[in-house]
Amino acid sequence: MSVLPPGLTQETFDEALDEFRAAIGADWVFTSDNDRASYLDPFDIGDQDDHASSAALAPAGMEDCRKILAIANRYKVPLWPISMGKNLAYGTAAPEMRGSVILDLKRMNRVIELDEEMGTAVVEPGVSFFDFKAELDRRQSGLWMSGPAHSWGSVIGNALEHGVGYTPYGQHVENICGLEVMLADGSLVRTGLGALDGTREWQAYRWPFGPGLDGLFTQSNFAIVTKMGLWLMPEPEGMAGVSIRIPRREDFHALVETLRPLRMKDVINAPYTIANGWRQITGGRVRTDVWEGPGAISQERMEELLAERDQGWWSVIFNLFDSPAGLDLRLEKIRKAFGENIPQATIDVRRWEQGQPQEAWMRQEVSLAPLGAVDWGGSPGGHSDFGPIVAPLGDRAEEVYSIIERRFIEYGKDPWVGIFGINSRALIFVADMYFTRTDAEETERCRRLFRQLCDDMQAIGVGLYRTHLRFMDDAAAMHSWGDHALPRLNNRIKAALDPNGILAPGKQGIGSWEVSE
């Protein structure tokens, strides 16, 4: 079945496709149903066809990109740039606007530079975490990668989407240092000190003379990012894997208050993950193994399952990175803080020192393990994540958590909540809605739940860190201060840089939130 870009006739689109074929080679213009289907979102929270593409293009490099942009501008063909296209749970490779043409950058897959002395790299969009780890290993690098939960995605794509990892470099967007971007008119710009001919400092410092623009090109549709500089962590002398069990629901406030100063004083020097009870009961099971009743798994049943495995109502895991003596000091402070604030907590610690074989808890090996949970609620499964950004203050975190838990149960969904202490001053909640993709009632209920939570969060001034394609306009519209001054500014920047609106229309609601509002 043919899908067309909005506003184009079949005849005009065919002409544009012929021009794309002439520009980059017919082998790299994909139009068959089978090929287009491979760019659908397999975990969509509704009908995949709502976000179907009309074709896909795979440029070999910059010149191909420039030619594609010229043609797209002429025909007003919307392009949806992807890197690895594995933004699972947030849309995968699919475009926000139905009928967009996928601009698949996977062929641009070079590790351009790896600087052992500076601890920096420059990569292209098609470098996945699998690829990057393999390249670090091949070169016997002394630098470590910070990878996300699953390794299939692109190093660039994950950082641009504000993805997270589990090392001191785990807030990936903050380790971007210098971008090369191609604007909609085909012009190429290097941000930061990359703007100087012959620079040696492009990856050394983010702040050039004048405004720093790296952030402008993350979670946006202002340009195509063609190269990214990033900082890499030197291999640590040692690591400690800390796992803490907190027995009671009502200890959450104290837990948040205990962790904040430890993270702010850099005692805990990497992101931590808090999991509530429902999030801990999935391991090795499917939902029907433990619950057949209607609605969400009850708190009583969940607590029974926790007790079977001697798990706490809350779990906290994080890794510490330091010399063995430094780890001793950090662990002493952590034990003291928990001893004073939550004496009923149980703390387990594993250790590693440089030279020893790596173990799974260190999370340094590439993996696709999280995909194993997708079928938790039924097959074919999918999930979408609601991700508010919350100050790590006991009252505030409790307020947000309580709303999420209550709404999930109200909508008949298990409140499956993880909370990432991503930096010293922010928690990112990730409340997962697992659903059976073929169950139209369930996916519709999940969409309603998501939008209900958007309303709830907006009412208390809380925004989202990332959303599925379906909720980008909703999330953008939540930024209402000053008569939506920030989304309006984004629209103005978009109009100035991409007057034909050909780059990723609808991305993060830029250029589209007002319409849907």
Partner 1 sequence: MTRNLLIAAGVMLAALAPVAVQSAGQGSRSPQDLFADRCAYCHEAGDWGTRVLARRVPDGEAELLKRSSLPAAYTAAVVRRGIGAMPQFTPTELTDEEIAALADWLDPAKR
d(CA 451, CA 440): 17
- From 6-14, 108-116, 295-303, 481-489, give the range in contact with partner 1 by CB under 8 A: 108-116
CB of residue 415 vs partner 1: minimum separation in angstroms?
Answer: 22
85 counts as binding partner 1 under rule CB under 8 A: yes
Which of these ranges, 31-39, 205-213, 258-266, 466-474, lies near partner 1 under the rule CB under 8 A? 31-39
Residue 234 CB: number of other CB atoms within 10 A?
A: 12
Exactly one of 22, 26, 37, 485 binds partner 1 (CB under 8 A); that residue is 37
How far is Cα 252 from Cα 246, in angstroms, rounded to an integer? 8
Phi and psi at 419, nearest 5°, equal -135, 120
Which stretch in 103-111, 245-253, 256-264, 459-467 sits in contact with partner 1 by CB under 8 A? Answer: 103-111
DSSP annotation of 383: E
Of the candidate residues 56, 334, 404, 419, the single one contacting partner 1 (CB under 8 A): 56
The smaller minimum CB distance to partner 1, of residues 66 and 445, is found at: 66
Q: Which one of 16-24, 37-45, 243-251, 327-335 is the stretch in contact with partner 1 (CB under 8 A)?
A: 37-45
435 touching partner 1, by CB under 8 A: no
Residues 224-253 that bind partner 1 (CB under 8 A): none
Question: What distance in Å separates the CA atoms of residue 305 and residue 307, rounded to the nearest whole number?
Answer: 5
Report how far residue 167's alpha carbon sits from residue 272's, in angstroms, rounded to the nearest whole number: 9
Of 41 and 96, which has the nearer Cβ to partner 1? 41
Q: Does 214 bind partner 1 (CB under 8 A)?
A: no
- Judged by CB under 8 A, which of 14, 130, 247, 396 binds partner 1? 130
- Helix crossing, 394-410 with 252-264: angle to 10°? 130
231: its two tokens: 């900082």
Nearer to partner 1, 173 or 286 (CB): 286
**Pick from 14, 15, 35, 201: which binds partner 1 (CB under 8 A)?**
35
| 58 makes contact with partner 1 (CB under 8 A) | yes
- Per CB under 8 A, the list member of 11, 140, 197, 294 interacting with partner 1 is 197
Rounded least distance, CB 439 to partner 1, Å: 14
Among 8, 17, 40, 156, binds partner 1 (CB under 8 A): 40
372 touches partner 1 by CB under 8 A? yes
The beta-carbon contacts of 349-356 under 8 Å, at least 24 apart in sequence, are 349/240, 349/241, 349/242, 349/243, 350/240, 350/241, 350/243, 351/238, 351/239, 351/240, 351/241, 351/324, 351/327, 352/238, 352/239, 352/240, 352/241, 353/237, 353/238, 353/324, 354/235, 354/236, 354/237, 354/238
**Rule CB under 8 A: is residue 369 a binding residue for partner 1?**
yes
Does position 131 interact with partner 1 (CB under 8 A)? The reply is: yes
CB count, 10 Å around CB of 439? 15
Q: CA 34 to CA 449: how far, in whole Å?
A: 33
Complex with partner 1: residue 6 or 372, whichever CB lies closer: 372
Residue 143 beta carbon to partner 1: minimum distance, rounded to whole angstroms: 13
Q: Which of 75, 80, 169, 202 binds partner 1 (CB under 8 A)?
A: 202
Among 52, 88, 181, 462, binds partner 1 (CB under 8 A): 88
Cα–Cα distance measured from residue 125 to residue 223, given in angstroms and rounded to the nearest whole number = 13
Is 470 or 479 the residue whose CB approaches partner 1 more closely? Answer: 470
Binds partner 1 by CB under 8 A, chosen from 101, 114, 446, 472: 114
User: How many chain residues interact with partner 1 (CB under 8 A)?
Assistant: 56
Token pair belonging to 58: 């795979």
- The two three-digit tokens of residue 113, written as one number: 């530079």
Instruction: Verify binding: residue 113, partner 1, rule CB under 8 A.
Output: yes
Please answer whether residues 431 and 423 qualify as being in contact, where contact means their C-beta atoms are separated by less than 8 angstroms: no
> Which one, of 162, 134, 164, lies nearest residue 147 by Cα?
164
Token couple for 312: 């706490």
CA 176, 177, 178, 180 torsion-angle sign: negative
Considering the rule CB under 8 A, would residue 30 count as an interface residue with partner 1? yes
Residue 322 to residue 354: CA distance in whole angstroms:
10
Which residue, among 31, 43, 160, has the nearest Cα to 101 in the 3D structure? 31
Cis peptide before 81 (omega within 30 of 0): no
Among residues 276, 367, 384, 490, the one that binds partner 1 under rule CB under 8 A: 367
Residues 295, 412 contacting (CB under 8 angstroms)? yes
The distance of closest approach from Cβ of residue 364 to partner 1 in the complex, given in angstroms and rounded to an integer, is: 15
Residue where the block lists tokens 């950082």: 159
Print the binding letters for residues 320-359 with partner 1: x by CB under 8 A, - otherwise: ----------------------------------------
| Interface contacts to partner 1, rule CB under 8 A | 30, 34-35, 37-40, 42-43, 56, 58, 85-86, 88, 92-93, 104, 106-107, 109-115, 122, 126-128, 130-132, 134-135, 151, 188, 190, 194, 197-200, 202, 286, 366-369, 371-372, 374-375, 379-381
